[in-house]
Amino acid sequence: MGIDFTTATFKDFENIPDYDIAQRAEYFYEFLDHMKARGHMNYRLKNTSGTNATLNINIADQDKEYISFVSSDYLGFTQHPKVKEAAIEGIEKYGTGTGASPLIGGYFDYHNILEKRISQFFGRNEDEVVLFTTGYAANSATLQILMQKEDIAILDMGVHASVHEGCAFTNKKTFPHNNLEALEHILKMSESMYRTKLVIIDGVYSQEGDTSHAKEIYDLVKKYNAYLMIDDAHGVGVLGKTGRGALEDDGLLDKVDFITGTSSKTFGNLGGYVIANKKIASFLKFQSRQHIFSVTAPPSSAGIVKAIDLVDEEPIWKEKLWDNINYLKKGLDDLGLDTGITNSAIIPVKIGDQSKMWDIGRILIENGVYTNPIMYPAVPRKDARIRMTVTARHEKEHLDKTLNVFDDINKKMHIAKK
């Protein structure tokens, strides 16, 4: 079998008939060499500084500063002195790790404090939070134990990969992104066929940067006696009057059956969480394999509590973030570039052609701008794009330089909308 490296994606190497694991790995290694030789390897670049508006990236054994649009540290809290101080205090008091899973000795008082603080932040009962080591695990682990062969999960096509993984043991249907008519059709057809019906959407979608039609979807879900799970990993700290995310905007914080999220974005750390009613939360704490067989969050997660506090204590960061979002998006739109339907801190520049996307990613890097080229299967094959995430740490000079580079690229490659 021959794979055309010029049009290939990582997905094409996942399984190749008649190739064992060693042969697949060798073939994929050749593909990576092909990408590197053409300057298309914008992945796994070595960062020698901390997450910030600029990063020191080591390429070909040379460190250079790049403007960074690859981080979801939306409010810049990974670098906030108060968050750092709280994390250091946690390590000084408890050490660097917990040494056990929560079921057998790895549950500390700071975990309990974090659970309470998350529940308070969302206005929910303190017994409704389950902590996981990552946001990915929060989705995957919860769905794997809750949804079985007698049930059905109904997914917006734009949900995160962790959701799809979590639905491996259950029936699964997808509906076109934010298509209420298609969703209602599936709900109606499933009404008497399955024990549990769970609709899963995002608050903010990670590739388009747009929000769900959560209020209308909630009404549909309840009409057909189903449950609703919303992953608002990219909405918290960014959307909502007080930074509670997309659900705050839609008035659903106290209504949704399951809220999932992460501490790796706005809260500037590592970890995931699920919010559910106390009986389901208890079920997860004793049944979810990834929860009971994984070590718990380290003491540095004390910094998460401070980051949550800062969303309320220092709203200036959210204001600065939106100043930057609006400035960069307007600049890209003024150049005639296609930023899609985003209304969040995620700004895609849609290219369409994958080979052209690779070249644009290379030119951006060569000009000191670090972005993520995105291709299938994260997006449809003909919808390749450059994905950028804006943070409160960016300054106007960073945004202006980036716009100037895109302007030059557009003049040479004609990527503006027709």
Q: Which of 45, 91, 123 is nearest to 369 (CA)?
A: 45
pTM for this prediction:
0.94
pLDDT tens-digit profile of 139-180?
999 999 999 999 999 999 999 999 999 999 999 999 999 999
Summarize pLDDT for 181-195 with one digit per residue, the tens: 999 999 999 988 999
Q: Can you read off the two tokens belonging to residue 226? A: 């189903």
Segment 85-111 shows an average pLDDT of 95
Q: Could you count the other beta carbons within 10 Å of the beta carbon of residue 26? A: 10
Q: Which of 8-12, 201-205, 231-235, 282-286 has the lowest mean pLDDT?
A: 8-12
State the DSSP code for 11: G
Mode of pairing for the β-strands spanning 346-352 and 227-231 = unpaired
Per-residue pLDDT tens over the stretch 7-53: 888 999 999 999 999 999 999 999 999 999 988 888 899 999 989 99
Are the C-beta atoms of residues 335 and 406 closer than 8 Å to each other?
Answer: yes
Q: What is the pLDDT of residues 109-135, one digit of tens each?
A: 999 999 999 999 999 976 699 999 999
- In this predicted model, what pLDDT tens digit does every residue of 70-87 receive, in sequence order? 999 999 999 999 999 999
Q: Average pLDDT of the chain?
A: 95
**Concatenated DSSP letters for 221-259?**
HHHTT-EEEEE-TTTTTTSSTTS--HHHHHT-TTT-SEE
Residue 381 has pLDDT above 80, yes or no: yes
